[in-house]
Amino acid sequence: MTNYPFFYLIFPAVALGYVLFMRSHHKKKTQEYDEQYANFRAGALAQRLGLQLLKGDPSFNFMVTYANQAVARGATDDKAINIDIEMAGTPFGVPLTFKYLYRVERESGFNSTTYKTWFNCRMAASAKLAFPPFEVTSRNTSVGRIVRQQTLPDAQTHNPAVDAEFQVTTHEPALAQLLGELLPEFSSFGPAGVHLLGDGQQVSFVMNQSTAPMVPSALYYAEVMTHALSTIAQRLGG
């Protein structure tokens, strides 16, 4: 023992101390952020948007997901991460739902680990009457191209500002023209990106985990989202 230089013993101790300090620091910072963005916890967000939390943990923070113990711990072979939140209401007279599903299952094999991930986050406004399908995506976002989900042809809205900012796809020219009047409300999302999906009955704002529009940046404009979606659903389907 006495033959070893002093730093042989002190370096591992310093490294261990540093790791412990950083873990504690990270935990403290996460708690601070969770408090700072408390208005993005499921319960508070639902109240703020005039919705009712139907399912899920009211303390789950959409801005600071790592504040949730299950997310911070990560999936294990025995226990999956399963965040399933649903809220609904009619803040602007149109049925509006917000769903968030994040599920990760883990399977450890001999030389590989498989993670199965399900992610779905969208706010949807229901229309009274059916309307033709459409999709709207921002042309430019801060995190790359938006993944389109429908195979529809490009359409012009005849609003140059809207056509420059958004790519509108639909088979119906009249619907594209109407969207040209309604989409300026979504301009406030800016580089966060907009992804609207009209499936014929509902108009959804789709949010993603790793591609634009990402959940935290899109939910930053949650109030605008609820109002603008409700307006589109009213105008398209009464």
Partner 1 sequence: MGHKLGTHGSTIAGVGWTLYVGALLSVSGVVSLFGLTQAAAKIPFSERLPLASAALVIGALMLLPALMRWKQSVEVFERGLVWHRLLGTKTVIAAEVQGSRLIRHTGRNGQYDEVELQFSNGGSCSINGLKEAEQLIAYVRAWSGPAPAVVAPAAGGWAPPVAGGWRPPGT
**Residues in contact with partner 1 by the rule CB under 8 A:** 92-94, 112, 128-133, 145, 147-151, 153, 172-175, 178, 199-201, 211, 230, 234-238
> Cα–Cα distance between 230 and 90 in angstroms, integer?
9
CB nearer to partner 1: pick between 61 and 204: 204
> Cα–Cα distance between 10 and 15 in angstroms, integer?
9
Minimum distance from CB of 166 to partner 1 (Å)? 17
> Cα–Cα distance between 202 and 198 in angstroms, integer?
6
CB nearer to partner 1: pick between 61 and 170: 170
| Residue carrying structure tokens 């990560």 | 74
Minimum distance from CB of 88 to partner 1 (Å)? 16
CB nearer to partner 1: pick between 69 and 151: 151
Minimum distance from CB of 13 to partner 1 (Å)? 30
**Kindly report the CA angle at 44 between 104 and 193, in degrees rounded to 5?**
65
Minimum distance from CB of 79 to partner 1 (Å)? 21
Question: Residue 88, exposed/middle/buried by CB under 10 A (0-12, 13-18, 19+)?
Answer: middle
Minimum distance from CB of 34 to partner 1 (Å)? 29
Q: Are 204 and 123 in contact (CB under 8 A)?
A: yes
CB nearer to partner 1: pick between 85 and 228: 228
| Residue carrying structure tokens 């966060």 | 192
CB nearer to partner 1: pick between 41 and 99: 99
CB nearer to partner 1: pick between 48 and 227: 227
Contacts 24+ apart (CB under 8 A), 26-30: 30/64, 30/66, 30/67, 30/72
Contacts of 121 (CB under 8 A, 6+ apart): 99, 100, 101, 102, 206, 207, 208, 209, 215
Minimum distance from CB of 161 to partner 1 (Å)? 21
DSSP assignment string, 212-231: SSBHHHHHTTHHHHHHHHHH
